[in-house]
Structure 1
Amino acid sequence: MFFPVDPTRLVLVVSIWLGLAFSLPSFGPNLDDDTESTFGKEPSDAITRDVCVIGGGAAGTYAAIRLRELGRSVVLVEREEQLGGHTRTYYDPEGRPIDYGVWVYQNNTEASNFFAHFNIPLTGQDFSRISEGSQRIDLRTGQRVPPPSGNVTDAMMRYVQILLQYPYLSDGWDLPDPVPEDLVLSFREFIEKHDLGAAVETITLYVQGLGDILSYPMVYIMKYFSFGVALGVQSGFSTSASRANGELFQAARNELGDDVLLSATVAGMERSDSGARILVATPSGDVLIEADKLIIAIPPLLKQLENFDLNDQERELFGQFGNSYYYTTVLNLSGVPNEVQILNRGADTPYNIPVMPGTYVFYPSQIQTLFTGFFGGGSQNMTEDEVIQTIKDNALQLRNAGFDVADPEILAYGNHSPFNLFVPAEAIARGFYRNLYSLQGNRRTYYTGAAWHAHDSAALWKFTERLLNERVFVD
């Protein structure tokens, strides 16, 4: 999970949740093979594995480690120079860490076991101290913005009670047919229907990285600010005791050893009912991988899958996805007290939602004057220079709010785009996710990652664990 803030403490009726019976999502049937050969290379040149995993983010790395732990041979292909996906850790000159990607994790069995596998201790993370020092400022102008009107706690209680009506959202996208009306309402319509105006600030602080958030189908908000997140707001989240979540993925990289191909991209692919052949371009040359099964753990956008042998159904479904853009930074922001977080709120927008592109929040780290800055591009794919300049402009507006801010210095930058993948409400109502899940197992290929569940590492590890046990090891 990226950036949780706790402006209010929720009072949750956990016993209601525990008393609910709910079904687990079905990953769907196999489809017919309709691919043709796209390349040729002698099998003697191949790396042979039980499973090839493409994508070394949270879900793909977890899958690779668990497959080895369960006795399967595996190779992991990752285009970046390191594993971890959205997880980013910056170290200052004294070696002190600051996480500026994934900060915290839900408290579930899969998260605890994954960290324990590498003997990395966890600790609790409570945001109440900093949230009490929140200052709401329109970062376009420096104008101060008042806190939400109304009873925030009551509004959040209503939101949580609504979440409890849809427990299946905690496990994936196994939506009923017909899809409940509340799930395909826009966030704006949902707020009005349930009188949740007082809760909007809390919800939107946890639901970052989207585009025009008020227009999003409500189900995406619920998938992001899930019941598990609500429990974390109430009782705390987990994070590495070292405050360096990147250590988890460095440990995974060390354990996988030569079974990781970094800075590697798919150059060609053949899939059939008997397995997969993947041609991978690496810095040291092309490598052919022959695997009994394939797990794809990257965003299923057509532009990301250009060299994949997609069939017509895959191309039609993946082609419906849109996406947003999200960026994170570490910056030196002297002049702002280290116990204060700056919330960007629109002085003239509905529910004071910040205008995108723009900074969501400047959050203080454990190191004096160093802050993390979380930035939304909305629907705009911005360059690094554009993002950094806008963050600096936003920070300098704090002078108009009374802060003696020096020129900010950007120390670290992370591009998390493409971020949230989405389809219109009409597509969801027509069964888009039911059709998407039917791809699981087609041509011995399985899918995991945020598009298949949620932007939440711990929730993805649970989803991936079930995928391995209920499909990959069974089919």
Structure 2
Amino acid sequence: MPDPLCRRTSLCSREAGRKGTNVNGISNAFLRWRDAGVLTRSQRYDETIESIPLRLNAIPASRTYEAVESLVCQPIEGVVDENFSSSRLLAFSQLHSSYGGSTGTYAGVKLKDEGKKVAIVERNDYLGGHIGTLYVDGEPVDYGVQGLFNTETTTKYLNRLNVQYEPLLPATLDNRYVDFRTGKTAPYDGNVVNITATLLLYSAVVSKFEGIADGSFNLPDQVPDELLMPFGQFVQRYHLEGALPLVWTFAHGSGNMLTAPTLYVLQLFGQPHVNALLRGYVRAKRGTAEVYKKAAEVLGSDVIYNSQILKVTRSDSGVTVVVRTKDDKFKQIRAKKLLVTMVPTLRNLDPFDLDQKEESVFRQWMWKNYYVGIVKNSGLPEKASIVDVDPTKAASLPHMPFVWHLDYMGVPGYHAVKIVGDSEFTESEAKELVLGGIRRMGAAGTFPISNPELATWRRHIPLTLAVSNEAVKGGFYRDLYALQGHKNTFYTGLSFCSDYSTLLWDFTNKVLEQMGV
């Protein structure tokens, strides 16, 4: 089934659905869209219909409009209900990916504080990015972003939002190592004897890659071969085996970490991450969601919630965007500049007027599917985290798809879970991987499992954006960064920088300087 938020959104079927699902029952609103050139072709889930005539009498009455494949929205009288003109910045904090908003929210708050006019388009009814906070009897359980680097950027932002914070400390030091494939305990030495010494050794090795020292991809024309070699080979070369448990904690999003290119592992745990770990993390006392609740109060009506982008037109003189809101109104937004904070995949950018230069870059992405949630009623031991290990693999690190941890977060009966798979790994498969693994622990007699269920769940897709080694050597990131400012469009977010909030905010500050806003 097509993603209801991609360009196959059943816009016209929902309009028609008010009076029926076939052409004979189509509404006047549908006719307006047809006459405006909105509907150019239609797709059922099981077939593609090419070049459907726009005259309704040429379409069989039995044909249902279950999904619209192409939306070409013209801002004409009777279609656009409201216009917003002369915004200095239009930020897309979300379009098709699961949850967005960390960098878009940050940019919006910063610019509003500077007296700039901002519009933020958000597909959800809340801001948040990769956050996820479940409140159990008033106690926050973070299952997405759990901590922030303790830097001036972070503390200044939290203070601006009046968010109270404290040092991030582990809820437990009791880790139980289990092979989720069998449900049995497995031998694993995951303890780092001297964390400080290990970090200093690791830092001494990775610090030579200056172009990624701030989490960005400022690579030289001659990309070092070491950044493109499998990370396992890099570890062997520099005798970093003792650091693997620590690296895995932060870089499990790379998937099969030992075979992943070193570049992408270091973007998840490299120089800036080591520095942050040595300095310590902080957390919002009331959960990470509190950060975005407070930011939403600051931004107010500058955020257009529950909205869907229909068309984006850009030029050297500015940008124009048509948005559909939750009440089926169509708003046209004109802005001087556009900041895109979602992941710029071709699917996400479908409503954009991409040119060949942009399309040739964005079509190269590869990514991981990442799911997060909270398990309850499991019977797992209290005040203990369950770590997935695979004794049949090198360093006992599981291969995709895998459950990373079942993390005890300080609230009895609840464990946060993170799951990593390739881009074909589905949500239902991820849920079964979690619950099936827990049930196997019960069957094996490892823990007295009861009736595990998911208390909450979210998708972080796409994540860990990457391209082939050949593309990296060919100057992909040079070409990607060269798109900043092209057609008055600028970019920030996890595809341009390491996916850690503080690093993303620092990168966003630099982009805002480039924008001159």
TM tier, smaller: 0.7 to 0.9
TM-score by length of 1: 0.86
The reply on whether 1:99 has 2:142 as its aligned counterpart is yes
**Aligned equivalent of 2:156:** 113
Q: 1:46 to 1:149 in 2, by over 3 A?
A: closer
The reply on whether 1:46 has 2:46 as its aligned counterpart is no
Deviations 1:168-197 (A, max 9, x none): 313311111211121111212212222223
2:316 aligned to 273, 296, 317, which one? 273
The 8 Å contact of residues 79 and 263 in structure 1, kept in 2 or not, is answered as yes
Shift of 1:155: 5.4
The 8 Å contact of residues 73 and 310 in structure 2, kept in 1 or not, is answered as no
Q: Which moved more, 1:211-220 or 1:153-162?
A: 153-162
Query: Superposition RMSD on alpha carbons, in Å?
Result: 2.1
Q: Which moved more, 1:203-212 or 1:425-434?
A: 203-212
The reply on whether 1:463 has 2:504 as its aligned counterpart is no
The reply on whether 1:146 has 2:190 as its aligned counterpart is no
Equivalent residue runs for 1:37-76 within 5 Å: 39-41=74-76, 45-48=82-85, 49-55=87-93, 56-76=100-120
CA distance in 2, matches of 1:231, 1:170: 10
Shift of 1:38: 7.1
**Aligned equivalent of 2:435:** 392
1:175 aligned to 196, 202, 219, which one? 219
Q: 1:77 to 1:448 in 2, by over 3 A?
A: same
**Aligned equivalent of 1:330:** 374
Q: 1:264 to 1:287 in 2, by over 3 A?
A: same
Shift of 1:401: 5.8
Deviations 1:7-35 (A, max 9, x none): xxxxxxxxxxxxxxxxxxxxxxxxxxxxx
The 8 Å contact of residues 156 and 196 in structure 1, kept in 2 or not, is answered as no
Q: 1:126 to 1:232 in 2, by over 3 A?
A: farther
Equivalent residue runs for 1:225-240 within 5 Å: 225-240=269-284
The 8 Å contact of residues 378 and 438 in structure 2, kept in 1 or not, is answered as no
CA distance in 2, matches of 1:133, 1:45: 56
Shift of 1:152: 6.0
Shift of 1:358: 2.3
* Matching residue's letter, 2:384: V
1:158 aligned to 193, 196, 201, which one? 201
CA distance in 2, matches of 1:346, 1:115: 39
Q: 1:150 to 1:79 in 2, by over 3 A?
A: closer
**Aligned equivalent of 2:32:** none
The 8 Å contact of residues 39 and 269 in structure 1, kept in 2 or not, is answered as no
SS at match of 1:404: coil
Q: Percent identity?
A: 28
CA distance in 2, matches of 1:403, 1:199: 29
1:347 aligned to 369, 377, 391, which one? 391
Shift of 1:333: 4.7
SS at match of 2:507: helix
SS at match of 1:207: helix
Structure with the greater relative contact order (CA < 8 A, sep ≥ 6): 1 or 2? 1
**Aligned equivalent of 2:26:** none
Structure 2 alignment gaps of length 5 or more: 1-71, 94-99
SS at match of 1:446: strand
Larger radius of gyration: 2
**Aligned equivalent of 1:12:** none
2:453 aligned to 405, 409, 431, which one? 409
* Matching residue's letter, 2:181: R
Equivalent residue runs for 1:78-93 within 5 Å: 78-92=122-136
The 8 Å contact of residues 217 and 424 in structure 1, kept in 2 or not, is answered as no
Deviations 1:434-475 (A, max 9, x none): 110000011111100000001101110111012112x1116x
CA distance in 2, matches of 1:107, 1:165: 23
The 8 Å contact of residues 38 and 270 in structure 1, kept in 2 or not, is answered as no
Structure 1 alignment gaps of length 5 or more: 1-36
Q: 1:311 to 1:473 in 2, by over 3 A?
A: same
